Amino acid sequence: MSVAPSTSPPRYKIMGKEISSNVVKWSIAVAMGVPMAVASILLGIGTIYISSMIEAIGLQKDTSKPCDPNAYLDKAQILHQSHVWEFHRELRAGKNPSVLGELVEEAQDIQRKLSESEDDEYRNDLALRMVYFALAEKSCTEVTPAIERYMKSINMDRVLVMEKFLIGYLSDVNAEENAVARLNAALVPFDLKVAQLKSAVPSGYHEFIESYWGELKQATTPGLMEACLPENYNAEGLVKKYKLTACVSGCVPNSVFLKDSWRFFCLVDYHA
């Protein structure tokens, strides 16, 4: 007696959760610019189902530390993107600033658990050591990814600093005294770290570092999608934009975690 082949789509496993291949294809399509509604219709997937899957899979807080340094740094980035997605979701929903503050504290706690260290600079120091290691090995194919990981690592801290500033600003939008000076003082240390990175690598990487850092900062500004960013991307311009858009949900990014983490959805183990 013959058995008819299964017509159900193949299944994948991500962080222990099973999902269909269509969900994986959907996440890739959206990451490549296909509107979510269009991708859902083409693949026959309900948007409510997609939302529930992203919450169930993408936002898991698995803090087990990988042995491989690069795997650890990549996982730290995935967890950070998960936090940013959640932060913007609550920001768009108009949640109380105290709720946003709890999310920031949770994100810091998750990174601390993942690093297995009480040193707040552990991740950044490790990422920088990986840059030095790649340079010492004279491996051109490893230097650029190492530089990217380091800048992403320090940018994670930068984003949290900006989120804290935004929370304070939302708590009292009229409290503008020294706002520009405070934000500038909070952000300068990160630009200094990038300047120190440039001084430690051959000049051939300098243009790439400047370009990548500038684009990374603009693409990850808490509360502001790139279309809403100020023409002059500095503390003064950001404070003005935050004041103008404090109650405008249309400027809040709505799918940062999904779009920036599509590679994560591809890192799956196929099984029937």
* DSSP codes of every residue in 107-147: HHHHHHHHHT-S-TTHHHHHHHHHHHHHHHTT-HHHHHHHH
Q: How wide is the angle at C-alpha 56 spanned by C-alphas 19 and 61, nearest 5°?
A: 120
pLDDT tens figures, 74-94? 999 999 999 999 999 999 888
Residue 165's alpha-carbon distances to 103, 162, 172, 246, in angstroms, are 14, 5, 11, 12
Asked if 58 and 85 touch (Cβ cutoff 8 Å), the reply is yes
Half-sphere exposure of 42 (CA within 13 A, CB side): 13
Dmax of the chain from CA atoms?
Answer: 81
Residue 11 β-bridge partners = 20, 271
**How deeply is 219 buried, as exposed, middle or buried, from its count of CB atoms within 10 A (0-12, 13-18, 19+)?**
middle
**Among 196, 255, 201, 204, which Cα is nearest to 225's?**
255
pLDDT band at 43 (very low <50, low <70, confident <90, very high): low
pLDDT tens figures, 93-152? 887 889 999 999 999 999 999 999 999 999 999 999 999 999 998 877 899 999 999 999
pLDDT given at position 16: 47
**Among 73, 189, 192, 208, which Cα is nearest to 143's?**
208
**Among 108, 82, 226, which Cα is nearest to 161's?**
108
Asked if 227 and 254 touch (Cβ cutoff 8 Å), the reply is no
Query: Mean pLDDT lowest for which of 50-59, 69-78, 239-248, 251-260?
Result: 50-59
- This prediction's pTM: 0.74
> Distance between CA 94 and CA 143 in Å, rounded?
42
Q: E strands, the chain, where?
A: 11-14, 17-20, 269-271
- Average pLDDT over the chain, rounded to whole? 79
Strand 11-14: give its sheet, edge to edge: 17-20, 11-14, 269-271
Asked if 233 and 218 touch (Cβ cutoff 8 Å), the reply is yes
Amino acid at 82: S
